[in-house]
Amino acid sequence: MNQNQPPAQLDYGARTFQEINRMYEEKQLGNNTICVSCKKENAEIGRSLSRPLSIWHIGNKYESDEFRLLFVGKVARGDITQSIDEIQICDARADAMNYLKGWRQNPFWRILGNIATTVTKTDLEFAIDRVAITNLIKCNNAMDEEGANPDGTLTDQSTPLMKANCLDKIAVFWEELRILRPRNVIFFTGWDYDNYLRNPQLGINGIRIKNNHREDSKLRSKALKDLLWWDREFYKEETCIMRTIRTYHPGYLCRNWAEHDVVKRIAGWIRDMEHYPTNSGGFFSC
């Protein structure tokens, strides 16, 4: 190799992952005193805490995509064993690709994939290259390699301290948001995290938030049940620059509502051009 040849430029996804990873390192994620308090609390109740999990995925076409769509889950499950350098943060990107290969078998990845393909009107490979995927909580206190709890369930059992530490004190997710600058954010988190989402740490002044009432945002399924969600619009002066929607975890959605209706309604919300953020730089370019 010619030593004078400039290094190959990284794709957007890899380049942005490096930026997010530097943020993890600066926060000493997993090793700082706040993280240590989480480990101590879980040890006292007979649970071990996993290493922190990185962002799942950043598509190379995410930055230039008109929707700039970010999917957000609660906390990772499963046998995630890779690490990033000496701070032992689990690199979730390869695992995300493995989950996506079998996406139709898992409610979370299936609904995510169906929404992405419906919005972009393309196949999964094309659609996934245009979205990003992450979790609110970076560690889990499940007991076995499959991510199961002591009672055999896969439900999120993050403690109040874990939620407060990760979202409020360390604010890792909010830092990811600032780097990714999404236009549309889908929270598959249920009501459990509403108190932490209500006052987002965006680090910018002069933002007006319009909260749309959950009672006005119902999905009528074939079973004639109401799916309540919480969607918000973020404005800088008169420009809508980011939108978020909070609904339930896909596993719960699949058990209680017609999946096709859920995908159609959420995809329609994303493609709603009347309320589309018009600032091309996204929220954090303001």
Q: At residue 273, does pLDDT exceed 80?
A: no
156 contact partners, CB below 8 Å, separation of at least 6: 74, 75, 137, 192, 249
CB-CB contact of 60 with 169 (8 Å):
no
Residues 6+ away with beta carbon under 8 Å from 97: 57
| Dihedral sign from CA coordinates of 63, 75, 262, 265 | negative
Average confidence score pLDDT of the chain: 81
12-285: CATH, from 3.90.850.10, 3.40.470.10, 3.30.930.10, 3.40.50.300: 3.40.470.10
Would you say 233 and 209 are in contact if contact means Cβ atoms under 8 Å apart? yes
Q: How far apart are CA 55 and CA 50, in angstroms?
A: 15
- Total Cβ atoms within 10 A of residue 215: 8
Task: Give per-residue pLDDT as tens, 215-242.
Answer: 444 444 444 345 567 888 888 888 888 8
126-157 pLDDT, tens digit per residue, is 999 999 999 999 998 876 555 566 666 667 88
> 3 is written with which tokens?
């030593």
> What residue spans define the domains of the chain?
12-285
Orientation angle between helical segments 259-270 and 107-120, nearest 10 degrees: 50
The pLDDT score that the predictor gives to residue 144 is 58
| 102-123 average pLDDT score | 89
Q: Which pairs with CB-CB distance under 8 Å and at least 24 residues apart come from 103-108? A: 107/249, 107/250, 107/251, 107/253, 107/254, 108/73, 108/188, 108/249, 108/250, 108/251
- Which of the four pLDDT bands, split at 50, 70 and 90, describes residue 274? low
More confident residue, 122 or 1: 122
Query: Do residues 57 and 72 lie in contact, with contact meaning Cβ atoms separated by under 8 Å?
Result: no
